[in-house]
Amino acid sequence: MKKVLIFITLIFIPLFLYSQQSRFDYVEGEVSIKRVSGELIKAQIADVLNIGDSVITGFDGFAELSLENTSKISIDSDTVFIISKKEKQGQKKNIFMVVLGKIGFKFDRLLNEPDIQTPATVAGVRGTEFTVVSSLDGSALYVVNEGSVAVESEGTLVVLTTEEGVEVPIGEKPGEKFEVKIGSVDFSGWLDKGNDEFEKDPARVLSDVTEKLVEYADEATRFFHNYEDSFSMLSEMRENMISIEKEKGSEAKSEYYKKEIFPKETETSNYVLNYRYFALSALSLRRYVLSSMYIDMKTKYILDTKNPIFSKFLDEYEKFLQVYEKNVVPFLVEADI
């Protein structure tokens, strides 16, 4: 399967890798860019992010990005930010992923505003200034300074307006929204609380993250099967187009392409876009969330490897890896890994 995936990715990527560009205006401390090609480089002012690129900040890292119309993104220390894209309701939609850490967004009514994603949530925004925090236990915190944000998890939607916030545990519905006095939120303390929740029961937290991994893998599989069916039909239509040209001429061929083949090509490329989106979302859990958990636990129990808490965690760790290897890796390419 993997060779097939590499081939179709090369074919269809040019059809959908276009979007608003994000450019670094400011970089401080340890800030890295992992390109969609797999290359890892040190971020510098004026560098541009493209679809599939990730930004990783260290303990002293901070970066500011600019979009069109003076829109800004502020990436705090110990944060992972990924730009992705998917097809949603017939349109290609930018997805800004807050995998771990804290990010501030200020969108001045972009032409095509992105959705915001954490392991626990997806949110839609409009002309908004807000902060998103994603902790090690998978939970998310949204705080809105101005505008509105619609936060969705587990089929439940909560709309936040100016000076409102909400917490969302991974795999659960959003909590009750609450009033926020701007500048009064202790984001660092909230992140520490998420870390504490992980420390209390790391195996349970990892089990919740594995459930999210399964969701991503199932969606990747569904869209891949849709792609296979669509590509098969597209191949037949292209064969038919050759016959039409021979029998009815080039004008009939052009008309057939415009009415039948081009829409099918768009549909097929959208299926590729979506299965890749879910596969890369799963990869982000493996690369950044699971690895952070493992390092934390390995460090804590380095002299107590037989501890039952650590043993239970390792059991869940192996379950995660089994799901990942079996149900996600087939949808990845060498540059991803």
- SS3 sequence of the chain: CHHHHHHHHHHHHHHHCCCCCEEEEEEECCEEEECCCCCEEECCCCCEECCCCEEEECCCCEEEEECHHHCEEEECCCCEEEEEEEEECCEEEEEEEEEEEEEEEECCCCCCCCEEECCCCEEEEEEEEEEEEECCCCCEEEEEEEEEEEEEECCEEEEECCCEEEEECCCCCCCCCEECCCCCCCHHHHHHHHHHHHHHCHHHHHHHHHHHHHHHHHHHHHHHHHHHHHHHHHHHHHHHHHHHHHHHCHHHHHHHHHHHHHHHHHHHHHHHHHHHHHHHHHHHHHHHHHHHHHHHHHHHCCCCCCCHHHHHHHHHHHHHHHHHHHHCHHHCCCCCC
**At CA 48, angle to CA 125 and CA 67, rounded to 5?**
30
Rg (CA), the chain: 22
For tokens 């493996």, the residue is: 286
pLDDT, residue 90, reads 80
Of 1.20.1600.10, 3.30.70.860, 2.60.120.1440, 2.60.40.790, which CATH number belongs to 20-199?
2.60.120.1440
Please name the residue that has the structure tokens 């205006």: 25
The whole-number pLDDT of residue 110 equals 58
Residue, of 9 and 319, whose pLDDT is higher: 319
pLDDT tens-place string over residues 179-219: 998 888 899 999 999 999 999 999 999 999 999 999 999 99
Residues across the chain: 337
How high is the pLDDT of residue 270? 95
Domain boundaries, the chain: 20-199, 203-331
pLDDT tens for each residue of 209-252: 999 999 999 999 999 999 999 999 999 999 999 999 999 999 99
> Which stretch of 68-72, 287-291, 327-331 has the lowest confidence by average pLDDT?
68-72
Q: What's the whole-model pTM score?
A: 0.89
Output the six-digit token pair for 103: 């990010």
- Residues 197/167, Cβ–Cβ less than 8 Å: no
pLDDT of residue 71: 87
Which tokens sit at 112? Answer: 């095509």
Question: What distance, in Å, lies between the first and last C-alpha atoms of the chain?
Answer: 16
The answer to whether the CB of 139 falls within 8 A of the CB of 132 is: no
Q: What one-letter code names the amino acid at 171?
A: G
**pLDDT for residue 1:** 43
Q: What number of CA atoms fall less than 13 Å from residue 184's CA on the CB side?
A: 8
- Model confidence at 13: pLDDT above 50: no
Give the count of beta carbons closer than 10 Å to the beta carbon of residue 17: 14
Which residue is listed with tokens 């979302």?
281
pLDDT range class, residue 18, cuts 50, 70, 90 = very low
For the residues 107-116, what does the mean pLDDT come to?
78
